[in-house]
Amino acid sequence: MNKVIESKNFMLTLGFLGLYLVSTGVSLAAFVFLFKNNSSSDNAKTNNGVISRVDLSKPKTEECPLNGAYFTKEERKFWEERRPIAVMIENSIDARPQSGLSRADVIYEAVAEGGITRFMPIFYCNTASQEVKVAPVRSARIYFINFAMEYGDKPIFMHVGGANNYSGSGDTAKEARALEFLETIGWKVPRGNDFDTTYDSAYPVFWRNYERLGREVATEHTMMASLDAAYEQAKKRGFGFNDENGKAWNEKFIQYKFIDGKQTGSVSEISFDYWDNKQDYSVLWKYDPTSNNYLRLTGGQVHTDLETKEPLLAKNVVILFAKEKGPVDKNMHMMYTVTGKGKALVFQNGEAIEGTWEKKDGYDRLKLFDSKDKEIAFVRGVTWFHIVPAGNTINY
C-alpha cells in the first residue's frame, strides 16, 4: 500500500515538475521573443513613437529615386522589392486631417470639382520603415493619371471608382471618363496594376473606417487603405519590383536631378487660391530657413497627418499653371491640361524661380526649366506639385 502511495506521490511530483518546466519554458520563450523584438534593430522607435521595422539610427546613405532624400540600407531593401504606389486622397473639409500624407515622397494637388482639391501622393521610399495607412481614398481623375503614368512601368494606382459612363447615361463627358482611360492604357484589367474598390479590391487592402476621425462623417469620407497589404497584393498579381516577366518597373523611369539644399533666397511665404470663392482650400507655405523646409497651411490651419500628428512639409513647392475647363458635364467634372507646355513657379531654398513646364504626353516625365531654359534640379526631399488654373495670382 505504501509503495502505491509512494508511487502516486512520485507521479504527482513528476507531473508538477513537468508542468513547472513547461511553464518555465513557455515563459523563457516569451521572454526571449519579447527581448528579441524589443531590442532588435528591426524595431527601433521613430520620432513619433511608432514602432519601426528598421533601425532608423543607422547611416542614411541610399538616395530615393523619386525625390533624392537619403534613407538607410535596410529601408532600401524594402523598396527594392516594390514599385511606386499612387493613391487618390480627398481634401474636403469633412475629410481632414488625412492619413498618410506625411509619408509620401511626392504629392500632386488639383481641383476635383467645385473648387475642392484632391491629392495624389506617390509612395515608395518613405513607406519602408513601417506600415502606412492612407485615407480617405476617393475617385480618379484623368489629369492625375497623366502624372501617375510617369512612374515607370505600371505603378500601383489606388482609388475608389472614378468618372465614367458605364451606366450609359451620358452624364459624364467623354473627355473626363477616367475609368475608360485606365482601360485604354491597359491598367484596368483583371488583376492589373489598377486597384479599384469598385471592381477588384477589398479588405485587407481597402476598408471603411467610420471612427477614423472620432466624429460622424458621410460614407464617402471613410475609405482607408493599407499600403503594406497593397504591396502584398501587387506581388501576387505580378507587380513587385519586377513584373511576372522579370522586367523592372524602373527600366525607363527618369529620375530628376537632385541637389543638397541651403538657403539662397528670402521668400518667406507663398500663398494662393485655387478658386477665389473657396477660402477653405487656400494654400499658404511658410519657409523656415533653419530647417530649409516649407510648412503647409490649408484654410489658415497647419495641415497635419492624422496618423503621425506631423505637420506636412516640403523641400520644393511647384506651381504648374494649367488650362482649366469646366464643369464639363452634369457631374461637375473639371479638366486641366497637364500635357504640352505652360508657365511654372518653383520655390526652393527660400528662392522663387520663374520658368516653364513641359510634358509631351502622359508617359513623358514632367520637366521644369528656368528663365534661361536650364532644367531645374530639386532639393532632396518632398516635392509638392500644385496644378493651378492659368492666370491665377501667386503671392510671394
Of the candidates 100, 156, 105, the one whose C-alpha atom is nearest the C-alpha of residue 126 is 105
What span, in angstroms and rounded, lies between the C-alpha atoms of 357 and 344?
6
Of the candidates 390, 323, 274, the one whose C-alpha atom is nearest the C-alpha of residue 175 is 323
Q: Are 46 and 127 in contact (CB under 8 A)?
A: no
> pLDDT tens digits, residue range 163-214?
898 878 889 999 999 999 999 999 999 999 999 998 889 999 999 999 999 9
User: Quick one: residue 333, left, alpha or beta (phi over 0 = left, psi -120 to 50 = alpha)?
Assistant: beta
Q: How many other β-carbons are positioned within 10 Å of the β-carbon of residue 290?
A: 6
> pLDDT tens digits, residue range 300-310?
999 999 999 99
Of the candidates 316, 322, 314, the one whose C-alpha atom is nearest the C-alpha of residue 358 is 322
The residues pairing with 2 across neighbouring beta strands, listed in sequence order, are none
Check whether 154 has a pLDDT greater than 70.
yes
Least confident of 34-48, 225-239, 295-309: 34-48
**How many angstroms separate the Cα of 105 from the Cα of each of 23, 69, 81?**
48, 9, 17
What span, in angstroms and rounded, lies between the C-alpha atoms of 293 and 290?
8
Check whether 329 has a pLDDT greater than 70.
yes
pTM over 0.85: yes
User: What is the reported pLDDT for 32?
Assistant: 29
Alpha helix (H) residue ranges in the chain: 2-39, 73-79, 142-148, 178-184, 227-236
